[in-house]
């Protein structure tokens, strides 16, 4: 009957496969974003000429931001690089950890005894006697514990090798099963670390398993479902669709930019005190040039009062549409 056990080497192979599947695409994506310069190249292709000093400064910022060194100054890019380095370190560590398994060789009695495959029984017996004298455990009593263990292992190997070539039953077993002891029981390994089987870790493993099963997995599923149901198949918030449907019925066409500014997506836009003067100046210029309605439509007032972000977006949309720079 097969034995089922936890095997650290199997875990190393499993971990190596999982990490590689995740890390390689992540690395390619990171390198692409790091060395691509789409924004700057588009500006160069179109031979874009700035009309104001503000536009010129913004273009210079875009071009500088496309520099690899500048990208690393970004906190998000730097953290991604650190995570990637850690992942590749783990992959390399696991690779070397599994490298020892490549040294596992099939049982070969001729190689163990240092004999050619055409050797006679007499030659095999002489080789066995010579090696058994060298590796007999009694000769290593005064040696270290490691030397004694190694000598015992070597003596067992040469004994099995001799039996496999001289004893009829052992020889038949070796020919049939590759082992002089006969058919070996099947061993099954699980790709999990061996410490999970330690008795002192059982309570901790059980608690972590319950937390993952009862708390983490349901929370992730609930969070995903909660977020996904907020969006339509066009990846637009359903609330935005409701706003459009409600306002477009009785709103003049000149207020369309206002309705767009009321999209629910804009409610997370930060309101910075340093932007207030610029926004006020822009709004004043838009009103002076009659590029924006002085007063929003009556059915949109509540939205502007409740979420100040909409007023900011409304000004920015009109300024962009009219190529206005503060």
Over residues 148-171, the pLDDT tens digits come to 888 898 998 888 888 888 878 777
Beta bridge partners of 189: 5
Question: Nearest-CA neighbor of 60 among 78, 39, 46?
Answer: 39
Query: Which region holds residue 114: left if phi is over 0, alpha if psi is between -120 and 50, else beta?
Result: left
Q: What is the DSSP string of 233-287?
A: TTS-BHHHHHHHHHHTTS--GGGHHHHHHT-GGGGG----GGGHHHHHHHHHHHH
pLDDT of residue 219: 93
Residue 9 structure tokens: 């080497």
Regarding the domain delimited by 109-179, which CATH topology (the fold level of the hierarchy) does it fall under?
Answer: Helix Hairpins (1.10.287)
Predicted confidence at residue 65, as pLDDT, reads: 59
Task: Retrieve residue 150's tokens.
Answer: 């190694």
Per-residue pLDDT, 13:
78
Q: Where are the domains of the chain?
A: 3-103, 109-179, 198-228, 238-321
- Residues 24-31 have a mean pLDDT of 89
Does residue 269 register a pLDDT over 80?
A: yes
pLDDT at 217: 92
pLDDT average, residue stretch 28-36: 81
| 33, containing H or E segment | helix 8-35
What are the C-alpha distances in Å from 163 to residues 24, 119, 133, 155, 213?
A: 50, 14, 16, 12, 53
**Selected residue with higher pLDDT from 102 and 235:** 235
**Whole-number Å distance between alpha carbons of 318 and 308:** 16
Q: Is the pLDDT of residue 35 over 70?
A: yes
Average pLDDT over residues 42-69: 61
Q: Are strands 187-190 and 3-6 parallel, antiparallel or unpaired?
A: parallel
Tokens of 264: 């629910």
């Amino acid at each position: 009957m097969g034995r089922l056990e936890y095997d650290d080497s199997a875990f190393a192979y499993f971990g190596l496969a999982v990490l590689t599947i995740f890390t390689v695409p992540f690395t390619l994506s990171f390198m692409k974003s790091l060395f691509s310069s789409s924004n700057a190249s588009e500006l160069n292709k179109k031979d874009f000429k700035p009309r104001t000093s503000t536009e010129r400064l913004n273009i210079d910022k875009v071009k500088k931001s496309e520099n690899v060194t500048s990208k690393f100054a970004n906190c998000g890019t730097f953290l991604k690089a650190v995570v990637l380095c850690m992942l590749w370190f783990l992959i390399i560590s696991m690779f070397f950890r599994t490298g020892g398994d490549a040294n596992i060789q099939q049982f070969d009695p001729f190689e163990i005894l240092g004999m050619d495959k055409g050797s006679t029984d007499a030659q095999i017996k002489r080789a066995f006697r010579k090696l058994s004298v060298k590796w007999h455990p009694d000769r290593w009593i005064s040696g270290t514990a490691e030397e004694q263990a190694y000598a015992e292992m070597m003596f067992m190997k040469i004994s099995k090798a001799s039996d496999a070539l001289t004893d009829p039953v052992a020889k038949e077993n070796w020919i049939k099963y590759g082992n002089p002891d006969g058919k070996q029981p099947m061993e099954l390994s699980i790709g999990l670390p061996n410490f999970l089987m330690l008795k002192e870790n059982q309570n901790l493993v059980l608690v972590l398993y319950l937390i993952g099963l009862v708390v983490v997995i349901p929370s992730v599923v609930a969070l995903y479902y909660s977020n996904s149901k907020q969006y339509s198949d066009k990846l637009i918030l359903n609330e935005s669709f409701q706003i459009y449907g409600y306002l477009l019925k009785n709103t003049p066409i000149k207020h369309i930019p206002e309705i767009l500014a009321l999209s629910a997506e804009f409610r997370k836009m930060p309101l910075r005190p340093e932007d207030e003067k610029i926004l006020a100046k822009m709004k004043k210029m838009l009103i002076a040039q009659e590029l924006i309605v002085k007063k929003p439509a009556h059915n949109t007032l509540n939205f502007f009062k409740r979420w100040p972000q909409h007023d900011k977006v409304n000004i920015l949309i009109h300024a962009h549409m009219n190529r206005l720079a503060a």
